[in-house]
Chain A
Amino acid sequence: MSEDLLRIDDLHVSFSTRRGMVEAVRGVTLAVQAGEMLGLVGESGSGKSVTGFATTRLLDAAGRVTGGKILFRGQDVTKLRGDDLRHLQGAAMSMIFQNPRAALNPIRAISLQIADAILTHKRISKDAARAEALELLRAVQIRDPEARMNAYPHELSGGMCQRVMIAIAISCNPALLIADEPTTGLDVTTQKVVMDLLADIAAARGMATILITHDLGLAARYCRRIAVMERGRIVEEASPKTLFGAPQHAYTKRLVAASPTATSGIEDLVTEEERERHAAVVSKPRTVAAHGTPPLLEVRKLAKRFDQGAAAVADFSMTMAVGESVGLVGESGSGKSTTSRMICRLIDPSEGDIVFDGQSIGHIASRDFHRSPFRKDIQMVFQDPNESLNPRYTAFDCIAHPLMRLGGMRAGDALRQRVEECADRVGLPLDLLPRFPHQLSGGQKARVGIARAIACRPRLLVLDEPTAALDVSVQAVVLQLLDRLRRENDIALLFVSHDLNVVRMLCDRTIVLRNGGIVEQGESRALFENPKTDYTRKLVEAIPHIDTGPVLAVAL
């Protein structure tokens, strides 16, 4: 084997915070060969991004390398200064980031941003740099590159922005590219296109790549070697096949189990030892509604038009039975969030009707719906658990608020009891109740959000991407929790998500949306195994599954 392109030796990185020094990376040892694609996976806080930033010397001021070496072509990166460092950055190694739109300068045309990178490392004229920028845009397969040269980032979609970012990163032919969650936040189909492009470019240019991701499926699909990080350490390193076939470390086992696959059910998401608890609930037979009972929710020809332009949602009809779970999937811009918000009566539909429990609620203005007796029957869990909790409310206040507003309860023992009961049902430890949101972890905040939504014992729960911001292991627990709540209390769930694996596991039926219209709907398992439309097939195929991964990776 040739000399390693990059060798990280016992790397330690610390951040100085208000509560003293916090060690984010504690002894990482890694090697990357030229031309190789290495996956670095782990959950948030595992130190995977910090390792990447330390390698490219982009740690913010509070962070510093406290020990170890990062050897790039035999040269210690941590000791480089000034011009030597600048020659390394961009020219020898570069980086692409999560959230591509924020990573580009919003007030500078993209051609200029690419040219900036080129001109830093090459002594050529501005016109030549512009010509090279155009070539790069072509290389990253941006349609109509001449016209896009003068575009600003806000005029491009997220996927396009990430391509521009890739163009900037590869502009000076670096030997190593570090991709930090390059497709998080993009649609599955876009994710596939961008990752394929990245893999192709890396292969064509012989560029080594470190793919930092929380998505095991993604890493399995594109990498031949995966390193798993937990709390600042690498706990396991192997090929995807061995890693997923026979994980050694306890953490890897849990992570592999929690990652949804093409066939897994909700009960599979935890390791075997933890499975018992959930099994007890699942085994309980569900009460099937007698034939002929009116549906809980009936939506007829719903449409929404915003001020100008085409309809966001058009001609949307669906029904939901008591205790049924329905998934609403589609790419961003397909109108799934708009639909869910109309059903929740947070925005007004332009046309159509919503019938809940036999009564039309579509015509009550969303502004006044909070006074309707149905408000407590239809509740919502929002996407971002961080943003959707009032930072000045404690967990207790958050859960108690709807009880006081909608349930008419007064502060006192009865209220306390109800709040504690709700917290208990979502598995939130009672001693966390006096805490403020910033003192809670992501998973705990998600639980508070769910507890708040179920506090008034709703009959329909609308969930807008409730697990999108969560780590897989937390997601697994939250999904099990939702499934259990549904089975125990007969709450109907309308689950909005772009994650098809999750929808398949949780929902009885699935509706696929595209451009505001229904493309396909049916029983979840059948729909995903046998998609009838090309669009659904494209969606299903784009999901990186762990088990199909190794085959593909070898094929690459």
Chain B
Amino acid sequence: MTSGLGTTMVRAGRRLLSSLPALFGVLVFTFLLMRVLPGDPAVFFASGPNAGKEEIEQIRKQMGLNRSVPEQLVYYLSDIGQGNLGRSMMTGQPVLKDLRERLPASLELTFTALLIALIAAVPLGVVAALRPGSLVDHGVRLFCALGVCVPTFVSGLLLIYVFYYLLGLAPDPTGRVDVFTSLPPQRTGFLSIDFLLAGDVEGWWAACKQLILPAVSMALFVIAPLARITRASMLVSLGSDFVRTARSVGLSWHKVVITYALRNAILPVITIAGIVFSTMLGANVLVEKVFSWPGVASYALDALLSSDYAPVQGFVLLMASLFVLVNLVVDVCYGIADPRVSIE
């Protein structure tokens, strides 16, 4: 068992190394892309619309934009090498600091959404697979179709309308906590965990209430792929020879479905969950905007709109690294869940 885990770790390490060139490519590509896009940050960040030519020129110089593009790239790369992602013109803070402040908010939201999606999707998929073609199966299919075809900002707005405006159950959708709650000392950056660590149950509940609507609206969107893949792989698994073997010795229904069928069927679900997670992290900008959630995606969008190079580049690098990391985690999970993977 330990040797199996060892090989998995070695494999993970190798995978990490082999993804470095890809990360570098992303870095250079984003850098060039930002330079090609129209819009001059110097003009944008000048004192006013009627700033003089000298002033703009001065800002350009200050920002290093007067140098040639390759030169800028070298400077940029050496900065990155020293762990400096540059400074945001928008917030006036280092990009690294901005991202570090906002990333936990995005992660907390995405994790919660994925958790909700998995909790809903796996049982739905299993139920649908147990009775294919039945009313339940069709119901699940309809639910999934609805989840996919309603964009997250629409479902988000609908949820706000129902639970905040009509029913008054949810707090106002303005960020991670309402203004009156005092923040707990920051430890993990995940408010729901920090509140618990600080022993502030009331604050925890307030944070959870804020979290639940955006998370649900994001989850609705990804339930469909997860439920469908669960159903499909569950069907294969239920029809397989080893499930027949399990039935032939009279194992209980629970044992056959959960231990034999589902554990095998969950393998592709892990892969899809990894992909879904990465996609959600980058694509949840709409939800962040609707719920004024202070996450990285909305930060990057604002930066992009104001031609603020450094935050966008930092954001893309962050997303690429996270994507690599998530794939790595999926890989390790897979290695643990399926003994066949560790030998290759």
Chain A residues packing against B (C-beta within 8 Å): 56, 58, 60, 85-91, 94-95, 97, 99, 102-108, 116-117, 120-121, 150, 152, 154, 165, 168-169, 171-172
Partner of B242, one of A86, A91, A102, A120: A102
Determine the interface band of chain B, counting residues with CB < 8 A from chain A.
Answer: 20 to 34
Contacts of A102 in B (CB 8 A): 240-242
Select from chain A the residue with minimum beta-carbon distance to B342: A152
Q: In residues 233-278 of chain B, which contact A (Cβ within 8 Å)?
A: 239-242, 244-252, 255, 259-260, 263-264, 267
**A171-B249 in contact given A60-B239, A99-B241, A116-B255 (Cβ < 8 Å):** yes
What is the CB-to-nearest-CB distance from A293 to chain B, in angstroms, rounded to a whole number?
Answer: 49
Select from chain A the residue with minimum beta-carbon distance to B247: A58
Contact B249 A107 (CB under 8 A): no
A-B contact count (CB 8 A): 81
Tell me the complex Cα distance, A99–B241, Å.
9
Chain B residues packing against A (C-beta within 8 Å): 1, 239-242, 244-252, 255, 259-260, 263-264, 267, 337-340
Contacts of B244 in A (CB 8 A): 58, 97, 103
Contacts of B250 in A (CB 8 A): 85-91, 117, 120-121
Contact A107 B248 (CB under 8 A): no
Partner of A117, one of B1, B249, B267, B340: B249
Partner of B248, one of A90, A99, A105, A106: A90
Task: Provide a sorted-by-A list of 12 A–B residue pairs whose CB atoms are within 8 angstroms.
Answer: A90-B251, A94-B249, A102-B241, A103-B241, A105-B264, A106-B339, A107-B340, A116-B255, A117-B250, A150-B1, A165-B245, A168-B249
Contact A152 B340 (CB under 8 A): yes
Interface centre among B242, B246, B250 (most CB of A within 10 A): B250
Select from chain A the residue with minimum beta-carbon distance to B242: A105
Tell me the complex Cα distance, A86–B240, Å.
19
Partner of A116, one of B246, B337, B338, B339: B246
Contacts of B251 in A (CB 8 A): 90, 116-117, 120
Contact A120 B255 (CB under 8 A): yes
Contacts of A87 in B (CB 8 A): 250
What is the CB-to-nearest-CB distance from A123 to chain B, in angstroms, rounded to a whole number?
Answer: 14
Select from chain A the residue with minimum beta-carbon distance to B132: A61
Tell me the complex Cα distance, A90–B259, Å.
18
Contacts of B240 in A (CB 8 A): 102
Tell me the complex Cα distance, A103–B260, Å.
11
Tell me the complex Cα distance, A106–B247, Å.
16
Tell me the complex Cα distance, A26–B250, Å.
27
Contact B252 A86 (CB under 8 A): yes
Tell me the complex Cα distance, A86–B263, Å.
22
Interface centre among B239, B242, B244 (most CB of A within 10 A): B242
Tell me the complex Cα distance, A104–B244, Å.
9
Contacts of B337 in A (CB 8 A): 107
Give me the 3 closest cross-chain CB pairs, A-B, nearest first: A90-B249, A89-B250, A90-B250
Contact B263 A97 (CB under 8 A): no
Contact B264 A168 (CB under 8 A): no
